[in-house]
Structure 1
Amino acid sequence: MQRDYIKEYSHRLGRDMEILHFGHAGRTLLVFPTSMGRFFQWEDFGLVEGLGDLIESGAVQLVCVDSVDGESWYARDRPPADRVRRHLQYEAYIVDEVLPRLGGPPLACGASFGALHAVLLAARHPTRVGGFIALSGAYDTARWLDGYHDDNAYFTNLFAFLPGLTDAAYLGPLRAMDPKVIATGEQDPNVDDSRKLAALLRDKGVDVGLEIWPGWAHDWPYWKDMMRRYLAG
């Protein structure tokens, strides 16, 4: 399997960022790590290996990006306004510096906090994303902002801005995405987030698939099985 390591300076973030790219052809999966996770998580926890035949055959390729969650949502030592601003800088890094090198709209994927990144990117930049697979996500970003509110906080909270979204320029591409998957475990502590997000999207005519797996399902072996199922059938 082709494996390429990339380390480049990000002008949007003002620091070096690292990427692992697996594969040589096929649909591009843009992979976000879990909470404060790193670009090598999916390799370390076996998800790359689990999709190995699809990667080797040229059906898919994985672009695994790094996170700055420890500088944004999880930076409790920073004022909430700074946390969300840092996230927006990270989003700009993805949109302006990563996506242009991919050759077309990717399938945004992630588990746990990575699921939030995947769906938030899809909802905020629907013409730049071709679909999403979100596993065991927690989607209410208000819980990381200690009650703080401003426009940035509003427009980075799916539960805040989706109910009022009426712009066809956003909803049309969202509805056209394929696949649109939200999956979690029935005992996952954030299972209600997944149900609520799916309901909000369906209310907007986005035919998202919601699948509740038996058990807890908030762990790497489950996510490995989920990715295999949703990509290979």
Structure 2
Amino acid sequence: MKEEYRKWHSPHLNQECNMLVFGHGGMPLVLFPTSQGRYYQNKDEGMLEAARWFVDEGKVRIYCPDSIDHLSWYNKDIPASARAYNQTCYDRMVLEEIVLPAQQETGVQRIATAGCSFGGYHAVNFAFRHPETVSYVFSMSGIFDISRFAPDGQDDNVYFNNPMDYIKGDNDPHLWRMGIVLGCGEQDVSLEDNRTLSRLLGDKNISHWLDVRAHAVHDWPLWRQMFPQYLSLLLPSY
């Protein structure tokens, strides 16, 4: 499996960013790490090995960036507005410094996103904020109600980084053309968040798959099983 390490200074974050890129072609997929995870986490936990066939066959090219959760939602030393602002800066970094180059490298204009646990939040939030850019989103045990990280109030940055809030009023037609998978375990701590987001999508008649696995818990063995199954749903989008 082809692997490439990239490092650059991000103008949106004003800091160094790291990323691993796997594969030689196919649909670009941004695979986010779990809470406060690093760019190598998904590789170390076997997610890339689980996706090896799709990568080697040129079906998908996987981009694994760093998170900045320690500066945004997990930074308890700053107010909610500052946490949300940092998240918005991260979103712009992903869009302009990862996704736009990935589109140019692969010739594919609508990408995919995926992630486990808090990475599932990032995958869904990015996809729903940029539905014209994302054709598939695969969340594995994601949480989606970000208000728990902003107990001291809400502004536009908090609101527009909380999928549970802004999806209710979002009528972008690309949402109805997106392949959306919300996967979790029957004994998963994220189960209620997934059921709630599924209901909100259902209320808008947005097609999606709520995939609840019997007896499964919130952990890597479940996600390694889910990921290649979800990748098998990808269709070329050129």
What TM-score do the two structures reach when normalised by structure 2? 0.92
The offset of 1:215, in angstroms, is: 2.1
Corresponding position of 1:120: 125
The offset of 1:182, in angstroms, is: 0.4
2:154 and 2:160 mapped to 1: Cα distance?
10
- Of stretches 197-206 and 118-127 in structure 1, the one that deviates more from structure 2 is 197-206
The offset of 1:131, in angstroms, is: 1.1
State yes or no: 1:31 paired with 2:31.
Answer: yes
Corresponding position of 1:175: 176
Name the aligned partner's letter for residue 41 of structure 2: Q
Corresponding position of 2:160: 155
1:22-171 alignment runs, 5 A limit? 22-103=22-103, 104-165=109-170, 167=171, 170=172
The offset of 1:60, in angstroms, is: 1.4
2:217 and 2:226 mapped to 1: Cα distance?
9
Q: Deviations over 1:167-204 (max 9, x none)?
A: 3xx1x111111x31001011112201001111111222
The offset of 1:217, in angstroms, is: 2.7
The offset of 1:148, in angstroms, is: 1.4
Q: Which blocks of at least 5 consecutive residues in structure 2 are unaligned? A: 104-108, 234-238
- Structure 1 moving runs of 4+ over 6 Å: none
State yes or no: 1:184 paired with 2:184.
Answer: yes
Q: Deviations over 1:71-121 (max 9, x none)?
A: 000000111111110000000101121111111221100010011111111
2:135 and 2:102 mapped to 1: Cα distance?
12
Corresponding position of 2:232: 232
Q: Tell me the SS of whatever aligns to 1:109.
A: strand
The offset of 1:164, in angstroms, is: 2.4
The offset of 1:232, in angstroms, is: 3.1
Name the aligned partner's letter for residue 80 of structure 1: A
Name the aligned partner's letter for residue 48 of structure 1: L
What TM-score do the two structures reach when normalised by structure 1? 0.94
2:97 and 2:202 mapped to 1: Cα distance?
31
Question: What is the RMSD of the two structures over their aligned residues, measured on CA atoms?
Answer: 1.2
Q: Deviations over 1:40-69 (max 9, x none)?
A: 111101111111122111111111111000
State yes or no: 1:206 paired with 2:211.
Answer: no
User: Are the aligned partners of 1:29 and 1:63 in contact in 2 as well (CA < 8 Å)?
Assistant: yes
Q: Which blocks of at least 5 consecutive residues in structure 1 are unaligned? A: none
Q: Tell me the SS of whatever aligns to 1:162.
A: helix
Corresponding position of 1:21: 21
Name the aligned partner's letter for residue 201 of structure 2: L
1:65 and 1:28 mapped to 2: Cα distance?
13
Name the aligned partner's letter for residue 175 of structure 2: L
2:59 and 2:98 mapped to 1: Cα distance?
21
Name the aligned partner's letter for residue 173 of structure 1: H
Name the aligned partner's letter for residue 6 of structure 1: R
Kindly tell me the number of residue pairs found equivalent between the two proteins: 228
Name the aligned partner's letter for residue 137 of structure 1: G
User: Are the aligned partners of 1:119 and 1:132 in contact in 2 as well (CA < 8 Å)?
Assistant: yes
Percent of residue pairs bearing the same amino acid type = 36
2:216 and 2:72 mapped to 1: Cα distance?
27
User: Are the aligned partners of 2:79 and 2:152 in contact in 1 as well (CA < 8 Å)?
Assistant: no
2:228 and 2:97 mapped to 1: Cα distance?
28
